[in-house]
């Protein structure tokens, strides 16, 4: 019998409202593996220390969330194709001492979206944000057949750069036409600032529009509450969180988790919060 557990975890800041730990611990329990997941609040100027520490302690891998999805890249040994394409990393695998960055956010978004409302193919998307999550969503949706994309961001140049990069890599054109999907890919609306609304013209939200929020805590953000009242179809951040968590587990362990178990753990975490 070994008393040495396999360690994984998450580096973000703030970290206190990140429910991923509940989902991952449920996955470990369902698979009956002696693993632990540590939710760590890591300031930007300590990220290099945290990564080095995880490697030194033999962690099997870790997640990176806000604000580290791009900053972690120079600290890694290699990028998988998903991370190279998007320019963002949310999952790192310790492969025999080499730290390999992956991106499971984009595939998780597409899977959750299509399970909720149908194919991405042919749709026109207004994407709010240009950070790590937004980049993953933009590229994954484009690869899945997105028809057109517009990116809005507080830093307009950064938003334009993302739209141009997607167009150059996938051929998905930028658009200023009407949108049938509006995605908040920022942290606006996350606890404790749950009343905040992303910088999007809410007049665009209404019947025939799918409003998506990547924020998972709270599940019903102020943006989604407004969208639902306006008649839009709403997709909250829980499905994406569950899908990317399942993909993280597969990368770290080679095992597949039951999504229903992960989602139930997420619901319990909210009920107890």
Active-site residue set? 69
* Other C-beta atoms lying within 10 Å of the C-beta of residue 98: 11
Quick one: DSSP state of residue 258?
-
Gap between the terminal Cα atoms of the chain: 35
Tracing tokens 């030194």 back to the chain, one arrives at 56
Question: Tokens for 239?
Answer: 């499905």
List C-alpha distances in Å: 155 to 72, 130, 148, 168.
Answer: 21, 8, 21, 20
What burial letters (b/e) apply to 128-152, b meaning 16+ CB within 10 Å? bbbbbbbbbbbbbbbbbebbbbbbb
Are the beta carbons of 6 and 34 closer than 8 angstroms?
Answer: yes
């Amino acid at each position: 019998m070994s008393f040495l557990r396999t360690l994984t975890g998450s580096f973000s800041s703030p970290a206190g409202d990140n429910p991923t730990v509940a989902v991952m611990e449920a996955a470990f329990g369902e698979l009956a593996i002696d693993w632990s997941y540590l939710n760590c609040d890591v300031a930007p100027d300590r990220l290099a220390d945290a990564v080095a520490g995880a490697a030194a302690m033999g962690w099997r891998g870790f997640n990176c969330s806000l604000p580290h999805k791009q900053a972690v890249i120079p600290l890694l040994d290699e990028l998988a194709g998903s991370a190279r394409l998007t320019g963002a990393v949310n999952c790192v695998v310790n492969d025999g001492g080499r730290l390999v960055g992956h991106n499971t956010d984009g595939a998780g978004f597409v899977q959750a979206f299509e399970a909720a409302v149908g194919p991405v193919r042919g749709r026109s998307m207004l994407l709010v944000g240009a950070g790590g999550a937004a980049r993953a969503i933009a590229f994954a949706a484009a690869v899945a057949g997105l028809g057109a994309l517009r990116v809005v961001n507080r830093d307009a140049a950064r938003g334009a750069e993302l739209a141009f990069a997607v167009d150059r890599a996938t051929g998905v054109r930028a658009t200023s036409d009407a949108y049938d999907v509006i995605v908040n890919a920022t942290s606006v609306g996350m606890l404790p600032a749950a009343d905040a609304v992303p910088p999007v013209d809410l007049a665009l939200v209404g019947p025939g529009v799918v409003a998506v929020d990547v924020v998972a805590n709270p599940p019903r953000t102020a943006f989604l509450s407004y969208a639902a009242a306006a008649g839009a179809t709403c997709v909250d951040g829980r499905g994406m969180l569950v899908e990317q968590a399942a993909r993280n587990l597969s990368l770290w362990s080679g095992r597949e988790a039951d999504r229903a178990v992960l989602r139930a753990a997420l619901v319990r975490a909210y009920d107890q919060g």
